[in-house]
Amino acid sequence: MKKIILSLIVGIMLIPSNVKADEGMWFLMFIERLNHRDMQKMGLQLTAEEIYSINNHSLKDAIVQFNGGCTAEVISKDGLVLTNHHCGYNTIAELSTSEKNLLKDGFWAKNREEEIKPSSLYVRFFVRMDDVSKRILSKVNDKMTEAEREKAVNQEIALIEKENNEGGKYTVSVRPFFQGNEYYYFVYQDYRDVRFVGAPPESLGKFGGDTDNWEWPRHTADFSMFRVYADANGNPASYSQNNVPLQPKHYLPINIGGLKEGDFAMILGYPGRTNRWMPAGGIEQNVKFAYPAWVEGAKTGMDQMKKYMDQNDDLNLVYASKFAGTANYWKNRQGMIDALTKFETAKSKASQEKKFYKWANKKENKAKYGNVISNINKYYALTNEKTRHDNYLQQLFRTTAFGTIGRTLGRQLDNYVKADPAKRAEMAPAITQMADGMFKKLYLPAEKDLLAAQLKLYATKSKGYAIAPAVEKIGAANNYDYTKYVNAALDLSVLTSKERVIAFLELPSEAMLENDPLYILSNDLVSHFMAKSDEIVKAENDFGASFRLLVEGLRESKIGTIKYPDANSTLRLTYGKVRALPADKRNDAKINYYTTMDGMVKKYKKGDQEFDLPTRLIDMNKERSYGRFVDKDGSMHVNFLTDNDITGGNSGSPVLNGKGELIGLAFDGNIEAMAGDVIFDPALQRTINVDIRYVLWVIENFSGAKHIVDEMTLVN
């Protein structure tokens, strides 16, 4: 990796200085004022109104948030939705069995009747947004504590949301930006009848696995398809056989003419989280305390899951989605550690803060800004060890089924046992349903090993901050080997199977629940995680106010140059160009901005979990059977690079040309630019995308599902 990064840096030094990535994740409502002229110079042919309009259909009407975490786009007049394979992974795994393994073998519905409804899946359409900063900030003052400020803000938010939801028709969300210096509201409409249409086999959809994740060159068919259904009037409706495919206000035409380096590319999507105003102390805390614990905890969970996943297909399906999500962020956080360390990001932030400190302590600024930096640094110094502790504990919660069960299912049983008989009768069905969902795909031997391993890691590595009392007591009595205790606790607990929960509902006992060893352990873990000393509470209050003032002061003084708000899962537009990285001998492509199917076949390893390929694909590539999706150079392009500014949550986002036509599907970033969530690097920043022609080839030529492609609008 060091040699690769060195070659990248040398190559980047040779790139003309006028070639740069375009930083920024921009609000659509400000595109005309802030970005439109720049975008036109780069190749945009649309008006700002064609991108974002309240009164007429526009590009924003074709972009949806997918199940609360990813992005997707509507690509047909009948509500066909395209997103990443890894975004649909959990749903595909849920719908799979060892007898009919849709995840492993792929699936394409032959007709609408074969499209499958998962237990829970929704898409969210963006309706409009507006600025409510003045209204909300008029309700607060500098004398308030952070808790008082939050209460006042939340009260006004509740009023704004009620005023704009039209009696429950819309979901309204008011979000803070620039660390609480600005506020905007967003109006959405949710559709919950979303059905699985198809996806390639896992060998294509996840080709390269964890080895290639966050790496370039890539050769992945990272896509899946769904369809949105509505009632006869086009309104959101619960699942019904009477529902019909949604007729969207706008859907994306698909350009199969190919692309070249320097072509304009814009991405619309729901980026999850950036922290580009983060102080130097926060970066240091992440690099030295939080992320190493995250990485180690994630790896511990993955190792335990993998032991069981390798045993058979049934167990693989039980943990496939959780493993994939854990592995993704495990590699991401290690990449963040490496990038932030290598490029001395904290040092550059500290240099900015030094300038701010000098400005803040001028006579006219000192009363307001003078203590900002000291308060921020005090907070990080006080919470470094707690952050390490919390990240070990968070990975226990994320990778095990029982870490937080005392506050989920356990709390429901506690409410049940204390209720009168009539109320219990009302509560029982919901608790039974909750237990059914929880235990449907759960393997107790694996959960025992997961919990024991994570408890040992947490207890032995979180020594800088006191661990949960029950965990310390059990560990001290057992040389910090939790295997025996966990096995006994889970064997005795009422919280480990649907049958035991039902038996408890039939014969409830408050004493039984209060003495349940798993219930006690889980509550102790969660309570300890949430507990804060008075000193930390005070430091948090000072930090919240100071961080907000830091951002305000950086903007006022012009020391901070960021013009766009941090990402926070609200719809944004980012623009740039198709852009290569320096030549790389690992990529057979003539120019290092795309990869080909030839390169993918060269990676092929028969029987390998990450690099196996279907024989049919190898044969079709050998025969050059690419159909109408072949590139002008005679090869099948698979993935390509742009220099757009994206982050997690942009997975599944459409890559559009200057006419607003779909040319690709964003799915990843490059590991060399992993510091991008904190500081944008115009030289290294790249977005990795699936070429839309490869998507269509997999559907039409490889899978024989031409009827799916036929409902799209293709242009050259």
Please list the active-site residues. Answer: 86, 222, 651
Residues 6+ apart with CB under 8 A from 623: none
Q: Is 265 helix (H, G, I), strand (E, B) or coil?
A: strand
Distance CA 333, CA 649 (A): 16
Q: What is the DSSP string of 152-215?
A: HHHHHHHHHHHHHSTTTTSEEEEEEETTTTEEEEEEEEEE-EEEEEEE--HHHHTTTHHHHTT-
Tell me the Cα Rg of the chain: 26
9: its two tokens: 């840096």
Q: Is the dihedral of CA 668, 669, 671, 674 positive or negative?
A: negative
- Nearest Cα neighbor of 646 from 536, 572, 707 is 572
CB 481 within 8 A of CB 456: yes
Query: Backbone phi, then psi, for 657, in 5-degree steps?
Result: -85, -175
- Rounded to the nearest angstrom, the gap between the alpha carbon of residue 89 and the centroid of all alpha carbons in its chain is 13
Distance CA 193, CA 700 (A): 26
Q: Going along 291-385, which residue ranges are E strands?
A: none
Q: Count the neighbouring beta carbons within 10 Å of the beta carbon of residue 264.
A: 22
CB 319 within 8 A of CB 442: no
- Nearest Cα neighbor of 323 from 588, 670, 89, 104 is 89
Name 249's bridge partners.
Answer: none
CB 516 within 8 A of CB 403: no
- Nearest Cα neighbor of 666 from 82, 255, 191 is 82
User: What DSSP character marks residue 672?
Assistant: G
Distance CA 414, CA 428 (A): 12
